[in-house]
Amino acid sequence: MSGPTVQPASAGARELTYVQALNEALREEMRRDTAVFVLGEDVAVWGGGGVFGVTKGLVDEFGPERVRDTPISEEAIAAVAIGAALTGSRPVAEFMYVDFMALAMEPIVNQAAKLRYMFGGKATVPVVFRAQEGAARGNAAQHSQSLEAWFCHVPGLKVVVPSTPADAKGLLKSAIRDDNPVVFLEHKALYGRKGLVPSAADFVIPLGVGDVKREGRHVTVVGIHTMVGKALRAAERLAEEGIELEVIDPRTLVPLDLELIVASVKKTGRLLVSHEASTTGGYGGEIVARVVEAAFDYLDAPPVRVCAKDVPIPYAAVLETLALPQVDDLIAAARALARQQL
């Protein structure tokens, strides 16, 4: 199901940042469908659109009716977006930090995720809840969490975690066109990252299709967000030792492209999962469980989690670095895994 999603430059790709790619996705979908609108805190006026610039310039093109600054009222932002979606609009609600979504869990968990089922399939709730998560900027415990597993635990939600500009654009366009509530989680440390993004107007990446970011024979590494890039750096260094990592970005956690991961594990016999979310209850455990269920006989060693420590994210750089999984942690764990035989 996987394949290269970034087309060569000759096919019409440009280099964009992750933020620019997200902005293009919003702009294109708002042009394509007048039912799409954006709401959230500081999405229109602040700096021309968005604290991180994702909605930059949208209010100039689409006006304040469709690019709506809200008060600081996260529960209302979520609930109103859901009510609008239930009645035929296609809102994209922005939460400035995923941490603030804790204030909006009631409508997301009890309303958006469940209305369709509770109403016997008669409700359609095409809403996107956008937020950014993750650490590495010294934002400390209430602005650095990675909470994707919370949403994965609620049937009825889809959960998207892009790591590249092309994935960000193609997946956001799919999320907006999806008729289900989608939690679309960006990573603050990736916003400035550059990459080639296809120019084609119909460039979309379907939800539920993972991507092999690097092929390798010895260890399958499934990374989320920044851990994809860190895994690629670890792979380069380990290659010098003759250890080949296969780096997989699932891109969406719900639905999960398990087939892609299992196919890789059948080849390598070893699985390492890595995310910035704290280890306990993180989605990595779910990936491990599913791989064990599907491919136990193919495993040559116990799967390993290289995830954040079970601690609130600290402020001081020395502590924050320790709390998060680093390239060296991946290298050490992958090296040990590669050498281990059951």
Residues with catalytic function: 74, 143
Cβ(43)–Cβ(81) below 8 Å = no
Residue corresponding to tokens 């790709």: 13
Instruction: Return the range that interacts with another protein (CB under 8 A); candidates 49-57, 88-96, 276-284, 334-342.
Output: 88-96
Instruction: Return the range that interacts with another protein (CB under 8 A); candidates 17-25, 50-58, 150-158, 191-199.
Output: 150-158
Give, as ranges, the residues between 153 and 172 that touch another protein (CB under 8 A). 155-156, 158
The answer to the question of residue 124 lying near another protein (CB under 8 A) is yes
| Interaction pattern, residues 212-251, with another protein; x per rule: CB under 8 A | ----------------------------------------
Give, as ranges, the residues between 179 and 208 that touch another protein (CB under 8 A). 179-180
Nearer to another protein, 60 or 179 (CB): 179
Nearer to another protein, 250 or 303 (CB): 250
CB count, 10 Å around CB of 120? 7
* Pairing label, strands 304-308, 194-198: unpaired
CA distances from 175 to 141, 171, 237 (A): 29, 6, 35
Q: Which DSSP state fits 52?
A: T
The answer to the question of residue 297 lying near another protein (CB under 8 A) is no
- Member of 59, 78, 175, 205 binding another protein (CB under 8 A): 78
Cα(254)–Cα(246) distance, integer angstroms = 21
Phi/psi for 279 (5° steps) reads -65, -50
CA quadruple 312, 315, 317, 318: dihedral sign: negative
How many of the chain's residues bind another protein (CB under 8 A)?
A: 43
Give, as ranges, the residues between 48 and 67 that touch another protein (CB under 8 A). 65-66
Nearer to another protein, 125 or 304 (CB): 125
The answer to the question of residue 45 lying near another protein (CB under 8 A) is no
Cα(281)–Cα(255) distance, integer angstroms = 18
Least Cβ distance, residue 88 to another protein (angstroms): 6
Least Cβ distance, residue 263 to another protein (angstroms): 24
- Member of 23, 111, 264, 274 binding another protein (CB under 8 A): 111
- Member of 10, 121, 318, 342 binding another protein (CB under 8 A): 121
Cα(200)–Cα(140) distance, integer angstroms = 39
Cα(35)–Cα(128) distance, integer angstroms = 13
Cα(186)–Cα(321) distance, integer angstroms = 20
Least Cβ distance, residue 74 to another protein (angstroms): 8
The CA-to-CA distance between both ends of the chain, in Å, stands at 30
Cβ(133)–Cβ(148) below 8 Å = yes
- Member of 10, 122, 297, 341 binding another protein (CB under 8 A): 122
CB proximity list for 10: less than 8 A, separation 6 or greater: none
Residues of this chain that interact with another protein (CB under 8 A) are 37, 65-66, 68, 70-71, 73, 75-76, 78-89, 91, 106-107, 110-111, 115-124, 126, 155-156, 158, 178-180
